[in-house]
Structure 1
Amino acid sequence: MPAVADAYELGEVHSVRYLAEGLLNRNWKLDTDKGSFALKEVVNTPVDKLRRSLTVLSRLKTAGLPVCAPYLSVTSEPLVTMGHRSYCLLPWVEGAHRQGAELHRSEAHALGSLLGRIHRGLADPAVPLGHVGERPRAKGTAPEAALAEADRFLGTIARLDEPGLFDQATERALHQRKRLIVEHADQRPADDAPAGPWGWTHGDFQPLNVLWRQGTVAAVLDWDRLGIRPYAEEVVRTAQVQFGTANGYLDLDLVAAFVTGYRSQRDLADEDLADAVERLWWKRLTDYWQLQFHYDKNDFGADALWESGERLIQWWTEERDTVRVAFLSR
């Protein structure tokens, strides 16, 4: 830590606190002679992409968006590399992460409006990002592949000497999931070309990356996944993650407020949003990323997300028409 402090000329470091929130990168709060900062050790993002993202933040900050412009090193770089590790330093922002159910309708509307402003800001030619190129592709998982993956995990569970409660519940859930996939196999997205306009997007606009203070967004964090995507894809994914509940359903009133807020800043056609909703539903139906963490990587941090996600896909499949209507709100 002293070497990092020297690289940024922070003076004396008075305290260091590890931040347990987050799933991928390691983060600390530093209190120093120069003030309080958030230090991130970059683990899963290529250094060149992170440097680009940090440069973009400075422009977005100038445009009035609630982002944290990076604190530059003594060599005027937004990123410091030491050996095999890279670090970036950002001003510390006080605030709280809030799950969707904690928001009022007006706050959900404001959050959607902010995402629309971010998409507009990233599309500004003054922002140093490359051309968006051809339409992004998003191939839906084949039913046969999804069933084979479910069987793989069922085989893993069957080979356990003493299956635990999670394993037993997962076994039941996988059989239910297989039935749903077979029943809806003909509803896989027809092609790999998502509808609607596309451009640069945040990539992970969700509760752990948004800080609230006194009813407004104080900062949007973690731009590691900045990339080119269909705008409707990010709108729909954000609403699903933000307004999903542990009980396994979406708060559709808040979803509607969020989408209405977004469309007040950047319009999307009904058919583009409907296409994104159906594609995300199919992705959630055929995806087992939490089980890959649990059984393939021995990482149990996403277990609760598997359990809530399983309840969600059961509910969503029964309520597809109602969900689609909420996402078309104006």
Structure 2
Amino acid sequence: MSQLISIVLQAWKIDLYAVRDDINIAGSPERCEERFVVEDKDHRLFILERIASGAVARRRQIAIILDSLNKGGLAQALSYIPSQNDPLSPYVVCKQGAFWQLSSYISGISLNRPQYVFDHWRGREMSDFLIALRRRSFPFNTKKEDHLPMMGPHIIKSGNTCFNENSLFSIVAYINDLSETITRREPGLICRIEPVLEFLGREFMQIHDTLPVALCHGDFHPLNIIWSENGINAVIDWEFMGYKPEIYDLANLLGCLGIEDPRSLDHDLVEALITGLKSADIFSCESWYYLVEFMIAMRFAWLSEWLRKNDREMIDLEMDYLYLLMDNASDLKQLYS
């Protein structure tokens, strides 16, 4: 394997010193086929990822956007290192019959779980990041029918297969598709889900497609952040990046904090997070009003993950959490909006 990696790294004119199996890599290993921490002869560390052929187009375009965000001042949006061998397609290298991407290895501090969900400073830092992401990805229109960013014509074009108007992610469509699948495969579970579907169907399912959209990380939560002792070194795992309702990242983040410890939803971290975002005035009043419903809707993506893994314990926990959020929705709405 070292010989293969050494050959691949030549695309970046990097001489391999060692493959560092002793170093853990943050983020989900499922986002690529293989990944390695490699050290060069100058003792610099990098992450080398082998990616599936079907993911090449999307990963290339994500890399272009990350590079634009990074150069625009969002340093925590860790960009990929361009290859010097192919200036027309520098961010994904085809070598030895496979596709590869390279990024710098960023070290960090492990989260103290679950106590971190009460850290006021983390809420402030995550708020600052979401505000910076929104501002660095402007100017662009936020109408559903015209939501492409104006980050230069080389960044995203109307013909782009990954970021065009037809690719706008809908959690409502996702829930409907998942519900049909559960009805066929898990009839006992669909009975437990129906009250949640009824709750979302009162208003949220109808208004979802009218909410303003923005460029979102797509899977923003504390485990996809490389932390320092008092800040954020980098935000990773951008594979679900795209144009979504502007409140998407916040809804996912709050849901992840609450399942770690429901008490976190009205304590220091979340208070700092909400206060910072409201003071920046980057979300519409309508988005704030439906935030709690969006939190509940986003949990269906996590429920799908537990179903895929057939993790019955997590399925039961997720259902309990959905009911907890639904039963306390009025209080949470008053707190957040």
Establish whether TM, by shorter chain, passes 0.5.
yes
Is structure 2 residue 91 aligned with structure 1 residue 91? no
* 2:41 counterpart letter in structure 1: D
Q: After alignment, is 130-139 or 97-106 more displaced?
A: 130-139
Q: After alignment, is 92-101 or 313-322 more displaced?
A: 92-101
Quick one: distance in 1 between partners of 2:151 and 2:201?
A: 45
Is structure 2 residue 266 aligned with structure 1 residue 252? yes
Change (3 A) 1:45 1:199: farther
CA displacement 1:140-168 (0-9 Å, x = unmatched): 3699977664454446xxxxxxxxxxxxx
Deviation of 1:9 after TM superposition, in Å, equals 2.0
Mapping 1:178-257, distance limit 5 Å: 178=193, 180-181=195-196, 184=199, 187=202, 189-191=204-206, 193-241=208-256, 243-247=257-261, 250-253=264-267, 254-257=269-272
Mapping 1:119-130, distance limit 5 Å: 119-124=134-139, 125-126=150-151, 128-130=155-157
SS in 2 for 1:113: helix
Change (3 A) 1:186 1:54: closer
SS in 2 for 1:86: strand
Alignment match, 1:32: 40
Q: Do the aligned partners of 1:138 and 1:192 also contact (CA within 8 Å) in 2? A: no
TM-score by length of 2: 0.75
Alignment match, 1:166: none
* 1:107 counterpart letter in structure 2: R
SS in 1 for 2:69: helix
Once superposed, what is the RMSD of the aligned Cα atoms? 3.4
CA displacement 1:38-68 (0-9 Å, x = unmatched): 1222249631221122122222222332232
Quick one: distance in 1 between partners of 2:283 and 2:291?
A: 11
Alignment match, 1:271: 286
Deviation of 1:13 after TM superposition, in Å, equals 2.9
* 1:87 counterpart letter in structure 2: W
Change (3 A) 1:100 1:257: farther
Quick one: distance in 2 between partners of 1:178 and 1:272?
A: 24
SS in 2 for 1:49: helix
Quick one: distance in 1 between partners of 2:82 and 2:179?
A: 49
CA displacement 1:106-152 (0-9 Å, x = unmatched): 32022112111112112254462346876957363699977664454
Quick one: distance in 1 between partners of 2:300 and 2:10?
A: 49
Alignment match, 1:22: 28
Q: Do the aligned partners of 2:169 and 2:243 also contact (CA within 8 Å) in 1? A: no
Alignment match, 2:79: 69
* 1:59 counterpart letter in structure 2: S
Mapping 1:48-67, distance limit 5 Å: 48-65=57-74, 66-67=76-77
Deviation of 1:321 after TM superposition, in Å, equals 1.0
Deviation of 1:320 after TM superposition, in Å, equals 0.5
Deviation of 1:213 after TM superposition, in Å, equals 0.6
Alignment match, 1:318: 327
Mapping 1:36-47, distance limit 5 Å: 36-43=45-52, 46-47=55-56
Q: After alignment, is 315-324 or 41-50 more displaced?
A: 41-50
* 1:79 counterpart letter in structure 2: V
Quick one: distance in 2 between partners of 1:273 and 1:100?
A: 26
Q: Do the aligned partners of 1:210 and 1:220 also contact (CA within 8 Å) in 2? A: yes
Is structure 2 residue 16 aligned with structure 1 residue 12? yes
* 1:245 counterpart letter in structure 2: I
Q: Do the aligned partners of 1:196 and 1:268 also contact (CA within 8 Å) in 2? A: no
Alignment match, 2:277: 262
CA displacement 1:190-230 (0-9 Å, x = unmatched): 42644442122221212232111121000111222221112
Equivalenced residue count is 304
Deviation of 1:264 after TM superposition, in Å, equals 3.2
Quick one: distance in 1 between partners of 2:183 and 2:151?
A: 50
* 1:292 counterpart letter in structure 2: L
TM-score by length of 1: 0.77
Deviation of 1:252 after TM superposition, in Å, equals 2.4
Change (3 A) 1:21 1:111: closer
Structure with the higher fraction of residues in helix conformation: 2
Structure 1 gap segments, 5+ residues each: 156-170
SS in 2 for 1:229: strand
Quick one: distance in 2 between partners of 1:23 and 1:293?
A: 16
* 1:61 counterpart letter in structure 2: N
Change (3 A) 1:19 1:309: same
Quick one: distance in 1 between partners of 2:200 and 2:81?
A: 50
